[in-house]
Structure formats: C-alpha cells, structure tokens
Structure 1
Amino acid sequence: MGPTQINGLPAHALLVHVVVVLVPLTALLTVAAAFWPAVRHRLGIGLPLLALVMVISVPVTTNAGGWLLHRVPFTPLVLAHVRLGDDMLPWAIALFIAALAVWGLRFVEPLPARPAGTAAPGAPPDPGAAQPGSAAPEPGRTRVATLLAERRRAPAGHRQWVLLSAVVGVLAVVVAAGTVVQCYRVGDSGAHAVWTGRYSQQPLPRTGPAPG
C-alpha cells in the first residue's frame, strides 16, 4: 500500500515528513475548533477531511517503513522504532474520531435566542408559519424543523449543549495531546535508529577546499 521508493530514495524517509506535519496540525485545529465556534464554522468539513488524510498517511508511511526494514541492519533501536510506529495508527484513528465529534458540534449547538414567531435576520419567510389574514398552514416538514429549532433555544437544551461541548472538548484535548506525544516518540526513536553511532561528536578534519 503506497510507494516504497521515491526518486530512488526510500519513501519512508520522505513520507515521515507528511505525518509529522499533519498530526500536529490536525491536533491543533481540532482543539481550537472544540473551544472556538468561529474556528469550527470556518473550518467546516475541512477539519474531518484533514484528519482523514492524516489517518491515511500513517499506514502508507509504516508500509514504506516495513519495506525499508528488510534493507537496513536490524538493531535494537530499529526494533524500538518499529514498535512505536505500529502504535501510531490507533492514536491517529482516535484523533480522526475526535475531529468528527468536534465537527458534529455545529449541528447540535443552540441557536441564538430570539422572540417567538420572528425569523432570523436575513432569513426568508417561513412558508410553514401562519401569515396575517391567512389560515393556519398544515403541519409539515417546515413546521417540524421550526419546532426543533425552538427546542434548541430552550434553557434545558442549552444545559445539555454545555455538557456535550465540555465532553467533546476534553476528548479533543486528551486525544490530540496523546497523538502528538506518540508522533514525537516515533520520530525521536527513528532519529536515534538512523544516527546513533553514525556521526562524530567532534568536527572531523577536512582536506581540500572548504565548502562554499
């Protein structure tokens, strides 16, 4: 699944950059959208779509890493990196679910309170509402939608909204933090696996012209 080489180089070494960018970005936007409705409405469907791309990038990267595993020396540091990398996908999926939950808040958040029987500013007339001098309309879908909207403005609905938004916000913070920490652990172990014992702590003597 996914490329194993890009331009003659192991794809894993390049794909990890996609993961280390998308994971913190998705985590940051998920938390921001959970606590700021303006951010949530501005991002819209883009938030869960970004999280979906982030989730897909993880198995693509680990698959490329599996290909590379059979072409590098197998050391304890490489083994530690592989084990941590295998634990990245569940965290990514959890962050995707949290992003979906945050996006779903926009469909249940209370509407601004307004006097009964008045329309929102700029909204077209409600065809299901009774007009002056006309008979009461037949109950229909529009009337049901109006009643549901009024229910979302009720105090009880507001209390439920506060509780729901708090639960989703806590979920977003916990999952986002855990995913970012796991991403850091995977990247840190990979850096150790690549560079431990492969460079000098002191500058090496050079011969010939200096670079630049």
Structure 2
Amino acid sequence: MLDTLFGLPAHPLIVHATVVAVPAAALTVALAALWPRFRARTGALPLLLSLTALILVPLTVKSGESLAQRVHQTGLVRRHTDLGHGLLPWTIVLTVGASALFWLARWEARPRSTERTAVARPFAVVLVLLALTGVTGSSVQIARIGHSGADAAWTKPSTGRG
C-alpha cells in the first residue's frame, strides 16, 4: 500500500510527520489536562492534534511494514517493528482523553449550580487522569520506537570477525 512516495521509501517520510504529531498532541493534551485556562482557550486543538496522530500512526506502521520487507531483517529491525505496533493503543487512549477534555472544557464553560460542581470534580479528575495516561503512554512509546529505529538504521551489523 505505502511502499514509496516520489520514488523514495515512504516510511522515513511519513514517520517524520508522526514524530511531530504524537509529541505535539501529547504536550497539548497534558497542558489541557493540567491547566484549565489552557483547556478553555485552546478549544479543539488538543483533540485535532490527537486525531492527526491517530491517523498517522497506522500509516506509519503500514509503511514501516512495507519497508521491513525490503531490508535485511535484523533483531534491531524486528524490535523496532514490534515497538511500532504498540503505539496505536496509546494513541487511541490519548485521543479518547483529548475528547474527554474537550467535552470537559465545554461543560466547564456552562453556568452551573453548586451541587453540580461537587459531583463534577471527581468526574473531572477521572477525565484528567485518563488524558494523562494517554500522554504518558504515547510519549514513552514514541521515544522507545524512535530510539529503536535509530539503532536499527545506524548500528552496523556485526561481521562475526573480531
């Protein structure tokens, strides 16, 4: 499906968009989770960045699978591939958390009664924790994938001589 773009392997090109989108989404979702004023002012930005990341992750994985079929399969490449498959669940959690925060921001902007506020505080904490779970998981996973990809691309295979 995604073998090449403009005659070049698609994976190195697509992965750069993903490497920007996932951390940008994680950063904005973290800020929206921890800073209510940011959440109120940015509106749908964290959600849109998360959705962008959610679209890019499967494209990156598919292009990586295509590239893996064309290169020598080392243990480093297999590790990178395995880690890459683990990003989608975290990106889903990040996007669900961003959606929850978007809903929370809209709900917080509405006038409310004191008893509604008392009930809402624990619910808001749960939504923030959900979003921060997605932030942490996707951030850690993208760093692990990037490190393993750099190792796979730049580590010279051993020749067995020594």
- With the length of structure 2 as denominator, give the TM-score of the two structures: 0.89
Q: Which residue of 2 aligns with 1:92?
A: 91
Q: Which residue of 2 aligns with 1:70?
A: 69
Counting only pairs closer than 5 Å after superposition, residues 106-121 of structure 1 correspond to structure 2 as 106-109=105-108, 111=110
Which stretches of structure 1, 4 residues or longer, exceed 4 Å deviation after superposition?
none
Q: Which residue of 2 aligns with 1:37?
A: 36
Q: Is the contact between residue 33 and residue 131 of structure 2 (CA under 8 Å) also seen in structure 1?
A: yes
Count of aligned positions: 157
- With the length of structure 1 as denominator, give the TM-score of the two structures: 0.69
Larger radius of gyration: 1
Q: Is the contact between residue 33 and residue 101 of structure 2 (CA under 8 Å) also seen in structure 1?
A: yes
Q: Which residue of 2 aligns with 1:15?
A: 14
Helix, strand or coil at the partner of 2:89? helix
CA distance in 2, matches of 1:47, 1:184: 20
> Offset at 1:94?
0.9
The answer to whether structure 1 residue 170 and structure 2 residue 129 are counterparts is yes
- Residues 22-63 of structure 1: per-residue CA shift (max 9 Å, x gap): 111111111111232322222212322221111000011111
Q: For residue 53 of structure 1, what is the amino acid of its counterpart?
A: T
Gaps of 5+ in 2: 158-162
Helix, strand or coil at the partner of 2:70? coil
Q: Is the contact between residue 108 and residue 161 of structure 1 (CA under 8 Å) also seen in structure 2?
A: no
1:187 to 139, 146, 153: 146
> Offset at 1:82?
0.7
Worse-superposed segment, 4-13 or 74-83: 4-13
- Residues 45-86 of structure 1: per-residue CA shift (max 9 Å, x gap): 232222111100001111111111111001111111111111
Gaps of 5+ in 1: 112-148, 199-212
Q: Which residue of 1 aligns with 2:24?
A: 25
> Offset at 1:99?
0.4
> Offset at 1:17?
1.1
Q: Is the contact between residue 29 and residue 46 of structure 2 (CA under 8 Å) also seen in structure 1?
A: yes
> Offset at 1:110?
6.6
Q: Which residue of 2 aligns with 1:60?
A: 59
* Sequence identity (%): 40
RMSD in angstroms over aligned alpha carbons?
1.6
CA distance in 2, matches of 1:38, 1:195: 43
Cα gap change, 1:43 to 1:4, in 2 (>3 Å): farther
CA distance in 2, matches of 1:21, 1:110: 30
Worse-superposed segment, 158-167 or 63-72: 158-167
> Offset at 1:166?
1.4
> Offset at 1:109?
2.0
Q: Is the contact between residue 48 and residue 96 of structure 1 (CA under 8 Å) also seen in structure 2?
A: yes
Q: Is the contact between residue 97 and residue 132 of structure 2 (CA under 8 Å) also seen in structure 1?
A: no
